[in-house]
């Protein structure tokens, strides 16, 4: 006999339930978890190197590094003195909550204020997978073009923070900060935009202020 069964469930239900577990773990430890996303080469690791070094005395931070291969990024991050746990996805284009739960086993969360999850470099897939984070933070470098928020709406629509990186290169590229910001804001009422250069350090202070405020809010 033929039957039609109504289901109405989010397909990524299993991941979302693990993400809820992660949310509880972060909350129990008053930990600010941030999901850092961008294209490959936009400057996620450079941003972390700077942030971890500059705020070393103010915040206790650690990183989960997601890459297809190599532990290059984890080694760069570890050189700042922060703990870095590497996840190699072996071809997987995004991190999911089960990987994060696994990585957390190697970390002392009670001794941390901020956990950065550096996602796999990709402007598409990571946007669909909730990692239980307090905020998604997207980096876009000015060499990539100001139309990216328009072309990859899901990622920018989901993010609380947008860092426009490599602004030291603005004289050499056709990138309109205002246009990129406008497209990012079109579908996202609360996105906060920080133009920065991880190379020169320009514009990092407002990002640091946001980070410290957000970390403090978790401890209340």
| Site for another protein, rule CB under 8 A | 1-15, 92-94, 96, 124-125, 127-129, 149-150, 153-154, 157, 182-183, 185-190
Task: Please return the burial class of 101, using the count of CB atoms within 10 Å of its CB with bins 0-12, 13-18 and 19+.
Answer: middle
| Nearest alpha carbon to residue 114 among 58, 37, 193 | 58
Residues pairing with 32 in the sheet: 114
Q: How far is the CB of 179 from another protein (least distance, A)?
A: 10
Q: How far is the CB of 95 from another protein (least distance, A)?
A: 10
CA-to-CA distance for 23 and 12, rounded, in angstroms? 16
Q: How far is the CB of 80 from another protein (least distance, A)?
A: 30
Q: Which is nearer to another protein, 116 or 156 (CB)?
A: 156
CB 117 within 8 A of CB 33: yes
H or E element, residue 118: strand 114-118
Q: Which is nearer to another protein, 185 or 199 (CB)?
A: 185
Q: Which is nearer to another protein, 4 or 69 (CB)?
A: 4
H or E element, residue 35: strand 32-37
Q: Which is nearer to another protein, 30 or 88 (CB)?
A: 88
């Amino acid at each position: 006999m033929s039957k039609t069964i109504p289901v109405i469930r989010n397909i990524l239900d299993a991941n979302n339930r693990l993400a809820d577990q992660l949310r509880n773990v972060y909350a129990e430890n008053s930990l600010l978890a941030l999901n850092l996303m961008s294209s490959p080469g936009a400057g996620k690791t450079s941003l972390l190197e700077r942030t971890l070094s500059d705020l070393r005395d103010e915040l206790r931070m650690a990183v989960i590094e997601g890459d297809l291969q190599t532990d290059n990024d984890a080694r760069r991050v570890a050189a700042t003195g922060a703990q870095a746990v590497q996840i190699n996805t072996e071809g997987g284009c995004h991190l999911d909550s089960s990987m994060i739960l696994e990585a957390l086993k190697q970390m002392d969360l009670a001794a941390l204020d901020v956990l950065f999850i550096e996602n796999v470099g990709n402007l598409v897939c990571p946007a669909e997978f909730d990692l239980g984070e307090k905020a998604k933070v997207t980096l876009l470098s000015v060499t990539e073009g100001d139309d990216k928020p328009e072309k990859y709406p899901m990622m920018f629509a989901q993010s609380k923070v947008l860092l426009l990186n490599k602004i030291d290169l603005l004289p050499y590229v056709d990138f309109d900060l205002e246009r990129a910001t406008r497209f990012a804001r079109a579908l996202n009422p609360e996105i906060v935009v920080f133009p920065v250069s991880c190379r020169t350090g320009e514009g990092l202070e407002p990002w640091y202020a946001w980070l410290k405020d957000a970390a403090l809010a978790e401890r209340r």
